[in-house]
Every structure is written in C-alpha cells, then in structure tokens.
Structure 1
Amino acid sequence: MLVVLPTAALFLRVLDETSEQKNETNLAKQGVEYLGALGGLVTSLAESQSSALQNVHAEPASLTAAVARVQGVDERLGEDLGTTQRWSGLKEKIGRLPGVTGDSATIYEAHVEVSDLALELYAEVRDSSLLNRDPDSDIWYLQEAVAVNMPEAVTHVSRMGDMANRVAAAKTRQKPPLQIEFGYEVLAVQDVAAELTDNLQEAANVTTSATLSGNLVNNLDRFRRGIEAANRGANFGGPPNVSAMVTAQSTLTTALTALSGVVLQEMNSLLEERTDSLNYRQIEAWILLGVAVALIAVATFWTRTRGRQSREPAADSGDSSREVSVQGDSGPSSPAGGYGGSPYDPVPNYGDVPNYGGSARQERSGALR
C-alpha cells in the first residue's frame, strides 16, 4: 500500500493535467477554425464598403457567402467559445448595411461601425479560445498575427483606399479634414504592417515547424510590395494617386488572404502535434501504472512465498526434537530396572554386572557384609 498509493496519486495527477491540456488544445483548434471563417468576412466587408461608396447598395455575393459560413461555424462552436451573442449583433448590423442611405460620410461611418464590431469578434474568439494565452511561443506569435494584425491590416487598407477616393472626389473646402483622415489610415497601415512582420519573424525564429518559414516568405514579400505601392500611391504632400491606391489595395488584400491561410494551417498543424504528444503522454501514463501494479503484484507474491518456505523448516525441526526426547525416555535400549531404570530404585542391579572371576565375588561378598 505504501507503494500503490503514491503511484496512483502521481498517475491521477498526470492524467488530470494531460486531460486539461487536451481540452485547452481542442478549444484552441476551435478558435483557429472560427478565425478562418472571420477572415473571409472581414475581406467581404471591405468589398461591401467600397461598393456602397460607389452607390452600389446591394449586398455583394461574397459577403452573403461569408456571413453564411460564419453562421455555420458559430452554430457548432459558438456555445463553447461564447461568441453567439456578439455574432448575432454583428450579423444584424451587416443585414442593415444595404439599407443605409445618405452621403458618402454616412455610408462610410456605417461600414466603419460594422468592421469595428468584426474586429471585436476577433478579440472575443482569441480570448475565449485561450489562443492569446497559448504556452507555445510560435503559436502565440502566429495568433497575434492572424487574429490582430491581419484583420486590422485588411480593414485599414480598405479604408485607406476608400479615403483616397473620397479625397479625390471632395470639394476644396472638404478636402483638408478628409486628407487628415486619409493620412491617419496610411500611417495605421504602416504600423500594422510593421507589427505583422515582427510577429511573423518571431514565430519563424522560435517555431518547431519545418515548413513555417518557407511558407511565409513568398506571401510576406508580396504583402511588403503592396505596402510599398500603397505608400507611393498615398503621395504625401500632394493629392493621392487613386489608381495606384486601388492597385495597392488589391495586392495587399490578396497577399493578406494567402498569408492568413498559411498561418492558420501552420497553427492547426502545431496544435495537432500537441494533441498527438498529449495522447502519447496519456498512453505512457497508463502503461507505467500497469507496470507498477504488475511489479507490486509480483513482489507481493514472491514475499508471501518466501515467508511460507521459511516457516516450514522450523516446524519440521521442532517435531524431530520431540521425537528424539520421547525415544530417550522410553526406548527399548533402556534397562528395565536398577540404575538404568528409575533413579529412585533402592536395589542396585548387580546381577547385570559380568562375572570375571574371584575378584567379582569378593566385591559382592564385601558389599553384602
């Protein structure tokens, strides 16, 4: 029992920790799946914003498909991730976008509100899935890139391009405030691009994945080229080059979509490896417990067998001594009387002494006298 109880306690502790880590890993995988659906939604909202500013109020087909995809994912995972309520509010806001009318500022602000809600849903997913507290450094940097930097980059790139169009179409008196807002979006794109590059570089430096670095290089280079094109189109100090901005926006959106797919795939692969490792630890714990129980059973059987064997010779030795003492007291070699018989016999047994001649008779006659 002194061996079994500590072994069982250690086993239960390892099993409990492993089960908890498996549950957290499964929750993180659900978060990755949800983030994949949100990536298409953010891109579609950017397209819807640009279309609405061009007086196309019908909901784009890409946005309809993206909403349906997120709805399906939320129906399966929303309860575990706690996103259903927030998603329902965002979905309702998206459904109202085609009915928004007024000037470009009104339409733009309505889409900005919806895209901000989408970014908040990103934050909800990464928090409830525990991705923002992941113990592995590479996964942490990747989730920061795909759940914070990339959706912000898509959002600010879209606003930058749309603000360039608004500046170009604005009257002279309306341009100064729009140019300030346009400059803010350009700087926001540069800042988020720098943060995205740093996070991906850190992930590549610390990762255990053999494919992450190679998969990131081409898409990250394409994204950087898009940033450079956007800076040229922004034309600080002068009017923005709208055509250059539109081209840069398309390049950046395509690069971010591809980059997001690569990062999500790498995160899922790393989480699968973690799950396999935890399953192995669980099986190993069961095997070690079985070996410990088997060793204890063998040791118990061996100890009892040795104890039984050590008691049997002692019992045999006691029986033999009793038998010898009995034979010594009343065996056939004992004389029937005289000195060989009872010690209280008063008559010496001289008759058993051999007769060797006269000396013997003299000793007898002397004794009689």
Structure 2
Amino acid sequence: MTVPAPPARRRPTAVGRVLPLLLLVALLAPMALLFVQTWRSTSDDRELADRERLGVEYLRALAPVTHALADAQSAAVAARPVNSAALTRAVEAAASVDARIGDELRTEERWAGLRAKIEALSARGPADPEAAFTAYGEAADLLLALHNKVRETSGLVRDPRPDSFFLQHAARGLSEGVVAAGRLADLAVLADRRPAADRNRTTAEIAALRVAVLTPAGDLVTDLRAAVDNSESADLGPSVLTPLDTYQRAIEALAAHSASTGRDIAVSEIVGARVDAQSAARQLQPVLLDELDALLVERLDELSLDRWLAVAAGVLAILLWAALGAMWLAAARRSTRETEHEHDGAVGPEDTPWQPAAIGGAEPRELQPTGAGRGPGSTQWGPADAAH
C-alpha cells in the first residue's frame, strides 16, 4: 500500500518577504512628513509670536516718551519751563529696553538718533517758540518712525489674527493722534502770536493738522470695533470703551475749536481739549498693549498644545510602526524556521524504503513454485528449500 506524501509548503518569494517591509516604510513616510511640517509650522508661528511680544514691550516703553515729548513741546511753545525730569526718565526706561532687545528688532540706530535729538532739546531748548515747534516736531517725527520700525521688524504689521492685527494698528493710530493733537494745540498757541500777514498760512496749517488729528482718531475707532468683533475675549470691549469715548470726545472738541480762523481761535479751549485727549490716550494705550500681549500669550499656549499633540501623534505612530515591524519580523523568522525544518526532514534518493520485518525476527524467505498441484496445470508455491 502506497502512502501519499504530504504537499510541500510553498516557500515565500523575495518579493513576498520585502513587500511588508516596504508597506511599513510607506506607512511611516507620510506620518514623518506630516510631523515635520507641523513642527516647522508651529515653530515659525511661535517665533513670530515671540517677536511680536518683543514689539509690544518696546511700544510700551515708547508710550511714555511720546507723552513726555508732547508735554515738553507744549511747554516750550508756550514759553513755560520744560519738565525735563519726566522726559529723561522716559528716555532712560526706553533706552534700557532698546539695549536688551533693540539688536533683535534692529532699532538701535534709529533709537540712537532719536535719543540724541531729545537730549539736545532737553539740554538747551530753542528760545524761540517757532524754532521750538519745529525742533520738537522733528523729534516727534523720528519717534513715530521708530514706532513704525518696531511694528515692522517685530512682525506686528503681519499678524495673521484679525483681533491682534487691529489692536496693533489701533495702537499706531493712538500714537499718531497724540502727536497730531499736540501739534494742533501748539500751532493754535503760535497762531495767536503771529502777525496778521501770516493769517492765511496759519489757517492752512491748522486745517491740515485738523485732518491729521481726525484721521487717526477715526481709524482708531474702526480698528477697535473690528478688534472687538473678531476677538473672543470678553474683557476687550468693556476695558476700552470708557477711555475710547473720552478720547473721541476730546478729539472732536479739539477739531471743533480749531475750526475758527485767525485771532478768533479759542486757544484755551483747544489746549484744554488737547489735555483731555492726551489724558484719555494715557489710559487707553496700556489697555490696548496689554490686550494685544494677552492675545499673543494665548496664541503661544495654543501653539504649545499643538506641538505636544504633534509629538504625541508622532510617538504613537512610531510605536505602531514598531509593533507592525515586530510582527513582520516574527513572521519572517517563523517562516525561516519552518523552511529549515522541512529541509532537514526531507527523504533523499539514497535512503532505503521501509519494509516490514518477519515475525520472530527471521528474514523472510523467497517463495518458489513446488511443482506439486492438486490438479492439472496447477502450481503450488512454497519455500525454495522444501522437499519435492
């Protein structure tokens, strides 16, 4: 009886061995690419937010300089003693900030020129009110240029969020409004002293400064309204409402009082409106910068959370890939062992086929016909050495 041989196991081909590994690599590659892109994106956003916070810090240091310079200009134009101590303190505080972060914001050169100009004015200011108006105006122009430089190099002008973008733009309009309001009030004081021959020139200058005051004030209201509408902060609206209303009323009064011409200009009312506007700006400006900084801090927290989520997803992907790789490696090793076992147990052509042994241990003898039969043509088989 023939026993059928078991079917031979089909050995995996080279493609079958490599294909799972290629699939694992193909699974890991897009995950790694996604992780790298997410990490780079969050890193860029964090770097921008950090630089914007430096810009906010610098603008916060320039705010007292702006107000002190406007006060000094008004005093010099009105022939009153200039409060040099307040201006000096503001300049020194801003200088310490510039020494710390000015190199990163690339403001050192502009700040050095502005500081030299202010110190020259404080040391020996112009005796002529007209010359003082011009000299302080040049310093104020340098100061506003420094404001714009800080906003540009810090990235505030490129802020991607609507609420923070409009807040930084509102801070710019507020600084420009303070400078313009001071110039308008000081020009009104000068107009009262100018000769009648300069009446037309004075009227044109006052009209231009009136526009310079109203334009940033209108932009400020628009920017703050847009910031409140696009912000999720519940504190932004109430915190800016009161000082904004005070500032807006003072600016409107300043523009209304300056609408008269010549010697009919209400100088005292203009000066009073300018003082009210600057007082409201002193309250409003830190609120704007504080809210802007709070939004940037909140954004940094969100980016940190996104980064940790990306790291967790990357670790999970690596663990999954390692588990799949271990399973593939174990399957490959098991297949190799089974193949080697089949090779060791295979029957070669030199092996002797199995035969049953005789009963009692004796070798079986060959049977041959005995020649004796019971009938004609019959043959009887028996041992070869049996007697005939």
Q: Same fold (TM over 0.5)?
A: yes
Matched, 1:195 2:219: yes
Count of aligned pairs = 355
Number of the residue aligned with 2:239: 215
Whether the 8 Å CA contact 2:213–2:255 is kept in 1: the answer is no
What is the Cα-based RMSD across aligned positions, in Å?
Answer: 3.1
Number of the residue aligned with 1:94: 118
Matched, 1:283 2:295: no
Deviation at 1:246, TM superposition (A): 1.8
Whether the 8 Å CA contact 2:170–2:224 is kept in 1: the answer is yes
Deviation at 1:280, TM superposition (A): 1.1
Number of the residue aligned with 1:233: 257
Deviation at 1:235, TM superposition (A): 4.3
Deviation at 1:208, TM superposition (A): 2.7
Alpha-carbon distance in structure 1 between the residues aligned to 2:80 and 2:202: 22
SS in 1 for 2:380: helix
Q: CA 1:39 to 1:338, structure 2 compared with 1: closer, same or farther past 3 Å?
A: same
Alpha-carbon distance in structure 2 between the residues aligned to 1:3 and 1:118: 56
Alpha-carbon distance in structure 2 between the residues aligned to 1:187 and 1:362: 144
Matched, 1:363 2:387: no
- Which residue identity is paired with 1:94? I
Deviation at 1:176, TM superposition (A): 3.2
Report 1:40-51 matches (<5 A).
40-51=64-75
Number of the residue aligned with 1:150: 174
Number of the residue aligned with 2:12: none
Greater fraction helix: 1
Matched, 1:137 2:145: no
Q: CA 1:275 to 1:146, structure 2 compared with 1: closer, same or farther past 3 Å?
A: same
Alpha-carbon distance in structure 1 between the residues aligned to 2:235 and 2:105: 29
Number of the residue aligned with 2:133: 108
Matched, 1:168 2:192: yes
Match of 1:117 among 125, 137, 142: 142
Whether the 8 Å CA contact 2:203–2:261 is kept in 1: the answer is no
Deviation at 1:155, TM superposition (A): 0.6
Number of the residue aligned with 1:37: 61
Alpha-carbon distance in structure 2 between the residues aligned to 1:360 and 1:77: 131
Whether the 8 Å CA contact 1:36–1:264 is kept in 2: the answer is yes
Point out where structure 1 has 5 or more consecutive residues left out of the alignment. Answer: 340-347
- Which residue identity is paired with 1:130? G
Deviation at 1:364, TM superposition (A): 3.2
SS in 1 for 2:160: coil
- Which residue identity is paired with 1:203? A
Q: Deviations over 1:89-142 (max 9, x none)?
A: 100000111313342211110000000000000111011011111111111111
SS in 1 for 2:192: helix
Matched, 1:60 2:84: yes
Alpha-carbon distance in structure 2 between the residues aligned to 1:51 and 1:321: 111
Q: CA 1:183 to 1:321, structure 2 compared with 1: closer, same or farther past 3 Å?
A: closer
Matched, 1:72 2:96: yes
Number of the residue aligned with 2:281: 256
Whether the 8 Å CA contact 1:35–1:122 is kept in 2: the answer is yes
Q: CA 1:101 to 1:315, structure 2 compared with 1: closer, same or farther past 3 Å?
A: closer
SS in 2 for 1:329: coil
- Which residue identity is paired with 1:176? N
Q: Deviations over 1:250-299 (max 9, x none)?
A: 11001112111111011101111111111111111111111111111111
Match of 1:83 among 107, 122, 126: 107
Whether the 8 Å CA contact 1:138–1:206 is kept in 2: the answer is yes
Alpha-carbon distance in structure 2 between the residues aligned to 1:228 and 1:117: 27
Alpha-carbon distance in structure 2 between the residues aligned to 1:211 and 1:55: 43
Number of the residue aligned with 1:13: 37
SS in 1 for 2:26: coil
Q: Percent identity, please.
A: 28
SS in 2 for 1:236: coil
Alpha-carbon distance in structure 2 between the residues aligned to 1:287 and 1:360: 99
- Which residue identity is paired with 2:272? T
Matched, 1:332 2:346: no
Q: CA 1:328 to 1:155, structure 2 compared with 1: closer, same or farther past 3 Å?
A: same
Alpha-carbon distance in structure 1 between the residues aligned to 2:343 and 2:375: 49
Q: CA 1:321 to 1:333, structure 2 compared with 1: closer, same or farther past 3 Å?
A: farther
Whether the 8 Å CA contact 1:156–1:188 is kept in 2: the answer is yes
Deviation at 1:171, TM superposition (A): 3.2
SS in 2 for 1:289: helix
Number of the residue aligned with 2:272: 247
TM-score (norm 1): 0.86
TM-score (norm 2): 0.82
Whether the 8 Å CA contact 1:337–1:349 is kept in 2: the answer is no
Point out where structure 2 has 5 or more consecutive residues left out of the alignment. Answer: 1-24
Q: Which range is displaced more, 236-245 or 186-195?
A: 236-245
Whether the 8 Å CA contact 2:214–2:251 is kept in 1: the answer is yes
Matched, 1:127 2:152: yes
